[in-house]
Amino acid sequence: MELELRGITKRFPGVLANDSVDLTVRQGEILGLLGENGAGKTTLMNILYGLYSATEGEILVDGQPQQFSGPGDAIAAGIGMVHQHFMLVPVFTVTENVVLGVEPTLAGGVLDLKQARGDVERISAQYGLEVPPDAYIEDLPVGTQQRVEIIKVLFRDARFLIFDEPTAVLTPQEVEDFFGIVRKLKDDGKGIVFITHKLGEVLGIADRINVLRRGKIVGEAIPGEVSESQLAEMMVGRPVDLVVAKTAAQPKEPVLTVDDLVVADDFGNPVIHDVSFEVRAGEIVGVAGVQGNGQSELVEALTGLSQVVSGHITILGQDVSKATPREIHDIGVAHVPEDRQRSGLVLPFTITENMVLDSYHEDPYSRGIAMDWDATAKMAATLVEQYDVRTPSIDVPVSNLSGGNQQKVIVAREFGHDVKLVVASQPTRGLDVGSIEYIHERIVQERDEGAAILIVSTELDEILALSDRILVMYRGRIVAEVKPEETTPTDLGLYMAGGTPS
């Protein structure tokens, strides 16, 4: 029994997302599909799942060519997919989500919820996937939601399971649990495709690894026979330095001081409780934590984007708890926002226009009410050169750039001034390895030039590689402060889940 992709090619207007990809997964094995963001992994799997149709090539199940016109056909052929962004209805119960689309019914289309609940409990017990059948999805933590997704796939009798970046939302402990489940599924004879860009994970779980680069399979490897750096080279296409080169920090005077900060959400619920810390000139402080534990709100408060309920934020001796974003910017704060497309850039604007967004009101870019586009273009051209933004011209809309180059535009704009404090949230999310390296280098360089740096990231590897000091946030509080050289990912993971290492 096997699932085979033969010569799959997918063309989007102007982009070749998949280029005659061949791939086989047998039952009872775990195939790791490794590739950078944008390498075409998700496109490939969406073709396999019937969400896209391939431009060329065919899908075979047990040697039989298949025609998928929608996910329904793929499900019928025994293929199940656990999506990167869960496909669960938040206001439905676990049971309702599991049976949706293949509901057991009594006469007249009436739902047989009793039978459905029984089925959920049966699958749940069989694979050790603990879920509360009658709880609503919106009340469950992501780790449990993922188990619901897996049960959903198993309920449809899938023989082949595709996991798309399944560990992105999990804490390290949850990842361990998750790997246990995947191994159990494999022992039960399921064929598994594990899509990821994380080298360590794919080496830890997969039986075979296929590496995808720019839409093409560029290599196959067996864990144990290759090293992480060899895999990385295959994935990126050139030798990669996996560690960030930096010297020991030399912290000087405090630049950012936060005292007993309390921030509430739109409904008045406190989301940050009495947080206090400081960041000194010449050091990088990393804020670790599972997404949604107050990091975004912290960054918004620090950059003046949201109101502070109580407590104080001081930057270079100046109380900025009630300052506007522009006032904070003018002190010398660079902000690399979490969502570059939504809050970092105006996508339809050109590179030049985006570069001047924070200084359009200043000399020499404007005089009175008129913009000086010549001066602006000159500045943009210099920054594009300096920050290695790959673009045909400074007059193209930033929406045409790749994610990495978009991020470089933001970094160029924010670091292009005299920077005293950098607040960077998820600075490398969704970027290719080359861009990640570049952004990391730039951040370290800013540190060495004497800026204070605060990095917020949900990627533990990034936090460990960059930080001189690590703060862990959990449910709106700072629950731990550690040195990267004195901690392990396991310990950090425990803190992130609200526990303490024994």
Least distance to other proteins, CB of residue 477, Å? 14
Query: Of the two residues 67 and 393, which places its CB atom closer to other proteins in the complex?
Result: 67
500: tokens are 């303490």
Least distance to other proteins, CB of residue 36, Å? 21
Query: Of the two residues 165 and 414, which places its CB atom closer to other proteins in the complex?
Result: 165
Least distance to other proteins, CB of residue 501, Å? 15
Least distance to other proteins, CB of residue 86, Å? 8
Least distance to other proteins, CB of residue 292, Å? 13
**Which residue of 49, 387, 415, 495 would you call a contact of other proteins, by CB under 8 A?**
49
Q: Give the side-chain half-sphere CA count within 13 A for 195.
A: 23
User: Environment class of residue 91 by beta-carbon count within 10 Å: exposed (0-12), middle (13-18) or buried (19+)?
Assistant: exposed
179: tokens are 């790997």
The letter for the amino acid at 116 is: A
Contacting residues for 76 by C-beta, under 8 A, at least 6 apart: none
Query: Of the two residues 147 and 408, which places its CB atom closer to other proteins in the complex?
Result: 147
Q: Which stretch binds other proteins (CB under 8 A): 177-185, 322-330, 393-401, 485-493?
A: 177-185
Query: Of the two residues 43 and 467, which places its CB atom closer to other proteins in the complex?
Result: 43
Contact 283, 251 (CB under 8 A): yes
**Which residue of 4, 23, 33, 46 would you call a contact of other proteins, by CB under 8 A?**
46
Contact 33, 213 (CB under 8 A): no
**Which residue of 224, 243, 248, 267 would you call a contact of other proteins, by CB under 8 A?**
267
177 counts as binding other proteins under rule CB under 8 A:
yes
CA distance 68 to 238: 37
Q: Give the side-chain half-sphere CA count within 13 A for 439.
A: 28
262 counts as binding other proteins under rule CB under 8 A:
no
Distance between first and last Cα of the chain: 46
**Which residue of 35, 47, 78, 83 would you call a contact of other proteins, by CB under 8 A?**
83
Least distance to other proteins, CB of residue 331, Å? 31
**Which residue of 7, 65, 70, 501 would you call a contact of other proteins, by CB under 8 A?**
70
71 counts as binding other proteins under rule CB under 8 A:
yes
CA geometry: angle 191, 195, 197, nearest 5 deg: 150
The letter for the amino acid at 285 is: V
87 counts as binding other proteins under rule CB under 8 A:
yes
Query: Of the two residues 221 and 494, which places its CB atom closer to other proteins in the complex?
Result: 494
**Which residue of 90, 189, 239, 364 would you call a contact of other proteins, by CB under 8 A?**
90
Least distance to other proteins, CB of residue 131, Å? 7
181: tokens are 């489940």
- Is residue 204 helix, strand or coil? helix
CA distances from 111 to 104, 108, 124 (A): 6, 9, 20
**Which residue of 5, 31, 79, 88 would you call a contact of other proteins, by CB under 8 A?**
88
CA distance 322 to 109: 58
51 counts as binding other proteins under rule CB under 8 A:
yes
Query: Of the two residues 81 and 464, which places its CB atom closer to other proteins in the complex?
Result: 81
Contact 492, 483 (CB under 8 A): no
Query: Of the two residues 164 and 283, which places its CB atom closer to other proteins in the complex?
Result: 164
Least distance to other proteins, CB of residue 168, Å? 18
The letter for the amino acid at 36 is: E
292 counts as binding other proteins under rule CB under 8 A:
no
Contact 75, 159 (CB under 8 A): no
Q: Which stretch binds other proteins (CB under 8 A): 66-74, 281-289, 333-341, 426-434?
A: 66-74
Least distance to other proteins, CB of residue 135, Å? 8
The letter for the amino acid at 465 is: A
Which ranges constitute the DSSP H helices of 266-350? 295-302, 325-332
CA distance 394 to 364: 18
**Which residue of 180, 189, 200, 239 would you call a contact of other proteins, by CB under 8 A?**
180
How many Cβ atoms are within 10 Å of 134's Cβ, its own excluded? 12
Residues 96-155 within binding reach of other proteins (CB under 8 A) = 96, 99-103, 105, 108-111, 128, 130-132, 135, 139-141, 143-144, 152
The letter for the amino acid at 1 is: M
**Which residue of 224, 268, 348, 368 would you call a contact of other proteins, by CB under 8 A?**
268
Q: Give the side-chain half-sphere CA count within 13 A for 145.
A: 21
Measured in residues, the chain has a length of 502
CA distances from 473 to 4, 5, 292, 394 (A): 44, 43, 10, 39
Footprint of other proteins on this chain (CB under 8 A)? 46, 49, 51-52, 70-73, 75, 81, 83, 87-92, 96, 99-103, 105, 108-111, 128, 130-132, 135, 139-141, 143-144, 152, 173-174, 177, 180-181, 267-269, 497
